[in-house]
Amino acid sequence: MKKKMFTLWMTGLFLLLTTLGAAAQNSGTTGPLNWSYNAGTKTLSITGTGAMPDYSSDSDQPWYAFQGQIETVTIGSGVTTVGETAFYNCEQLQNITLPEGVTTIGEYAFYACRKLAGITIPSTVTAIGKAAFFRCYALPAIGVAAGSAHFTSADGVLYNKAKTELVCYPRGKPGTAFTVPAEVKKIRDIAFGACKLQSITLPEGLTTIGEYAFSDCFSLKSVKIPGSVTSVEPRAFESCTALTDVTVAWNTPLAIDPNVYDGVTLSGVTLKVPKGTKAKYQTAPVWKDFKINETTANQTIDGLRIFAAGGALRLTLPKAETVHIYNVNGAMVKTLALPSGDHVLPLSSGVYVVRVGERVTKILIK
């Protein structure tokens, strides 16, 4: 009898300790910070003063056991960074508010937070790591708090403050076509990765397309790359399996890494090259694997012409279009709604950037 009672007592103690241990796992410390998870509200709270550590993988997250349950994250005002991979693969995460005082958002911080519905970058943030919002498929826009000296948002797209770098195009943004603003010089690494765009037009003046910039854009059918681009970094268009045509403006084929178009069957993609350059592209590494077509002078096969002659901008519009004209600093000069047909628009001498639909062209008026 005593033996039986002892066994029952030990069993009860074991269950109690197990229950207490499980409860203890709902909270803890991470670096100088404290964290706790409320299973009832599915809320993870992080408080304290100082920097959140970086985590080498999502399994290193202290809250990893609740990764698939967390819907809301609250971060206290003393927290100064969001660590690398901090919320990686928190697929149920919908809401998070970052406090003023946060200075850094680490690489892959919100990677694959597929239900994240919105986020605003505090004005104090000075650095955002690559792929911070990669695979956030529900995210329609990225906001930036007023007063930021380092970042800005335009129509939900995240840029550096000077708007010379496009940092991140939100994956849930409505629409299937996008024209990158004229002042952008660089598309950052993974900036458009896994977005649902079907066509993208890049501006004259752009110089760099970052690594993985358009990787996994499975719906992307058309892209136009201006002659100002001097670097297309590795895997920039990896797995863009829907590509049907790429238009380039280099008279001499740009040297690119062999894996820029990894996963794309190039023999099924039309490469539109400037008039008189087809032979060069037919012998150039990577480019020779495309189906190569030449464009005609000042005109591509869609019939739209944009060129300068006689001190004026000259346009041939196959359909009614709104024409936007900018100076080289990106300031709007004029916007015109024009019918189809030929148009002559006198302009003062200088360099202009003209946007018609998805086409962006740089012209010189003498």
The DSSP 8-state label assigned to residue 264 in this structure reads: -
Which residue in the block uniquely carries the two structure tokens 């100082």? 50
Full set of structural domains in the chain with CATH: 26-173 (3.80.10), 175-295 (3.80.10.10), 305-365 (2.60.40.3080)
How would you classify residue 14: left for phi > 0, otherwise alpha for psi between -120 and 50, otherwise beta?
A: alpha
Residue-level pLDDT, tens digit, the chain, 366 residues:
444 444 444 444 444 434 444 444 899 999 999 999 999 999 999 999 999 999 999 999 999 999 999 999 999 999 999 999 999 999 999 999 999 999 999 999 999 999 999 999 999 999 999 999 999 999 999 999 999 999 999 999 999 999 999 999 999 999 999 989 989 999 999 999 999 999 888 988 899 999 999 999 999 999 989 888 999 999 999 999 999 999 998 989 999 999 999 999 999 999 999 888 999 999 999 999 999 998 744 444 456 788 887 788 988 887 888 999 998 888 889 999 988 777 889 999 999 999 998 788 888 888
CA distances from 307 to 49, 111, 117 (A): 58, 43, 43
Six token digits for residue 344 = 């002559």
Backbone angles phi, psi at 159, to 5 degrees: -130, 165
Question: φ and ψ at 284, to 5 degrees?
Answer: -85, 135
- The strand pairing partners of 97, in sequence order, are 74
